[in-house]
Amino acid sequence: MSCDCHPPGGIFNDGDTDLVYDACDNCPGEKNPDQRNSDCPNTSPPGPGCTDNGDVCDDCPADENNGCDPSLSGGTNVTSAAGGSLSLGPAITSTPPNATIMVEVPAGAVCEDTSISVTNKQSQSVPFAYHLTPAKLALRPEGMHFNVPVKVTIGWADQDNDGDVDEGVCTSDPTLSCDHHGDCEPPHTTTTGTCSVTGAVNEEVIKLERNNDPFTENGFVSCAGGVCRCKEHDPTETPTTSCATTVANCNDPAGTLKASVANCCSIANNTWSFHTCDFSTLDLAEHATDLIAGGGSVLTDCVAEWNVDYPDNRPIDRKGLVKNKVICTDGQIGCDGDGQANGTCVFRVGVCLNTEDSRLVKDNVPACPVTNVARWEIRKPRPDSSDQGQAASAVALRDAVAALAPSSIDGDHQEGVVFGPAFTSTDVCTPLVSVAVPLGHAGTSPGKAILKSKARTMMGAKDSDTLKLYCLPPA
């Protein structure tokens, strides 16, 4: 038995039999022989400014400010011989189903007894149970590689199974979750009430990301157009069964191919389960949280939105939307598509049409209904620009939009895409195309590109959007 501190009076008690003396055990009531404490760099014993217990006792194991939702945060100890599990929030089989997180560690996944934890990093003022914009879950210890896959299941609320995530509670019965579809009225309840949140997130456009990389069915690689859908019966994403049966391969490197796989996203069960060989941070949200509405009225901003592949640069404006200004340093991994400091930043940009975007509200009511897009055009730069680089970007964006459905090209500058018939599909995004932004004078000053587009519906509503791309010289 070992200990790195000296108990007063030489009393060497070990009440939890984890081979760490109580006097220096950061959680003497629970077995945690590894003494992990994710939110504290000095764990044995706790150092200055670190007053939390170990992860298996800490209400917020990966949040040093303890601002998490404790009902969806906590830790436990798993053993090499038997494994173990960690279940937080209501039981997944409860009625109505509510926000849940379950981690199942099989026998043999770890070589020695290990503390595992989950922390809901979302603010308590916007609990994960009723809000998906977005929910951030930290699984710890980060970077630890399991010998065999661990199964993680995330659940959300949809008491009437109408396909919309419940983001509010009923004023007449706060134990009932709800969306805006009459969930707080008979026959769902005995007393008529209202829902505290009137918007809704459609389950078919929920996304799950690991360290800013989206899931596909078989791993963490970019989905088409950056949108991964929770559509269990989509023949392009799922084999013949309703849920995928692929299991992660722990021989693969972390974050690649099948080291983690999206095993099953079930709209019927309101859960998304996956296998992983490595812990990390997860984001569960609707895909619109990443999109750039581009400015203008919330009444039409969902007609067309920009999609930029740069997850680490999402500053939010006063409306709660992602700002339309994206800044990248030449050669910066994650935003410069060519990955080289060569005088040009290559941004990866796409266009999404008819987005079901619950961020666009007016007086707490969804303000932008999806509609039919008759025409989309790239107004800046023009496809016939004298600048070959700008012309190439404009043509690439125009052609990507045109490829979404039967259409023709028109306009004095060949800038317009006319859909025939009108485009009515919802939440459809183009593949990402390269938009090159060179540095300024002699490669020593910032470069800038401004993209402008306009979409028009069959009813004549217009959505004009702007995207500003900045390329900075390397430090």
Answer for the pair 50, 95: CB distance below 8 angstroms, yes or no.
no
**Domains held by the chain: number:** 3
**Residues 304, 281 share a domain:** no
Domain housing 28: 1-58
pLDDT averaged per 10 residues, the chain (length 475) = 54 82 84 85 51 83 81 90 90 62 94 92 57 77 88 86 83 83 84 78 76 60 52 42 65 66 75 85 80 91 91 73 92 86 94 88 81 96 96 97 96 97 88 93 92 96 97 92
Length of the chain: 475
**Does residue 355 share a domain with residue 310?**
yes
| Whether 145 and 43 share a structural domain | no
Considering the domain architecture, whether residues 103 and 134 belong to the same structural domain is answered as yes
Model pLDDT, residue 321: 85
- Domain co-membership, 71 together with 32: no
- The pLDDT score that the predictor gives to residue 204 is 73
The reported pLDDT for the residue numbered 230 is 66
Last residue of a domain, one of 38, 58, 78: 58
Domain boundary among 234, 258, 287: 287
- The residue out of 238, 265, 287 marking a domain boundary is 287
Asked if 281 contacts 211 with a C-beta cutoff of 8 angstroms, the reply is yes
Residues 252 and 113 in one domain: yes
Provide the residue type at 325 as one letter: K
The whole-angstrom separation of Cα 359 and Cα 364 is 10
Contact 332, 469 (CB under 8 A): no
Q: Are both 432 and 396 inside the same structural domain?
A: yes
Asked if 277 and 315 sit in the same domain, the reply is: no
Q: What is the pLDDT of residue 386?
A: 96
If asked whether residues 127 and 218 sit together in one domain, one would say yes
Question: Do residue 296 and residue 283 come from a single domain?
Answer: no
Would you say the pTM of this structure is higher than 0.75? no
pLDDT of residue 155: 86
- Gap between the Cα atoms of 426 and 465, Å rounded: 18
Are residues 140 and 43 part of one domain? no
Same domain as 411, residue 283: no
Q: What is the pLDDT of residue 330?
A: 96
